[in-house]
Amino acid sequence: MATLIIYYSQGGKTDLVAKTLAKYLDADLVRILDLKKRDGFGSKLFSSINAFRETKTQITPSNVDITDYDTIYFGTPTWAGNPTPAILTIIDRLNLRGKDAVLFATMDSNRADSNIERLEEKVKMRGARVIETFTLATKGKSPEQLVKDTEAAIEIKDLKMYKR
Ligand SMILES: Cc1cc2nc3c(=O)[nH]c(=O)nc-3n(C[C@H](O)[C@H](O)[C@H](O)COP(=O)(O)O)c2cc1C
């Protein structure tokens, strides 16, 4: 049995956090892509409204086989204080009964806590047990600093304890 990290990242920050986690925790990674066009004029407002309303989106891969994993990390940026449409779309397709979940969220500077609260509700509804959560602020941080912050979270939350 092993650890899997399922995450969405639009701009690369959550991607860097996920890859750093994978390196230290010997975890496999699945990056969920959102097929909806989310760049250009008005797209941040459009995406914020989508996140606020929890509108589902088209994703690839469209599903993930989690059979071989007992611990699953879910990672997402914060959009309007909520999880992203892509991460909620994949969570609602997974049967998480018997799985342990670790939740992490990135943000510019605020509202990742409400994001985590909603993620927690969603994965619990799908049957998971939430064993740990953490948030990371990314605004103005260099990639090196973000890696350091992720390493610190691994230590503070003792995440290696869940490695098998
Ligand atoms: C549509 C949208 C909404 C956002 N809403 C918030 C927010 O409510 N609070 C916050 O601190 N950051 C917010 N952000 C910033 C991102 O959460 C933050 O930059 C994150 O680390 C980006 O991760 P990524 O590079 O993996 O996409 C928002 C970004 C976008 C694009």
Compute the distance between CA of residue 7 and CA of residue 90 in angstroms, rounded to an integer.
9
pLDDT confidence bin for 162, thresholds 50/70/90: confident
Q: How many CA atoms lie within 13 A of 36 on its CB side?
A: 15
pTM: 0.98
Distances (CA, A) of 42 to 37, 39, 62: 11, 8, 26
pLDDT at 144 over 80: yes
Domain that holds residue 13: 2-162
pLDDT tens string 70-99: 999 999 999 999 999 999 999 999 999 999
Strand partners, 146: none
Q: Please check whether residue 145 is in contact with residue 115, taking contact to mean a CB–CB distance below 8 angstroms.
A: no
Compute the distance between CA of residue 68 and CA of residue 7 in angstroms, rounded to an integer.
18
Q: What's the CATH number where 78 sits?
A: 3.40.50.360
The ligand 1 atom nearest the CA atom of 45: 1
Compute the distance between CA of residue 158 and CA of residue 134 in angstroms, rounded to an integer.
12
Distances (CA, A) of 100 to 69, 95, 104: 9, 12, 14
> What's the 30 CA to ligand 1 centre distance in angstroms?
20
> What's the 98 CA to ligand 1 centre distance in angstroms?
31
> What's the 78 CA to ligand 1 centre distance in angstroms?
5
Assigned token pair, 48: 């914020």
What integer best gives the mean pLDDT of the chain?
97
Instruction: Say how many domains are in the chain.
Output: 1
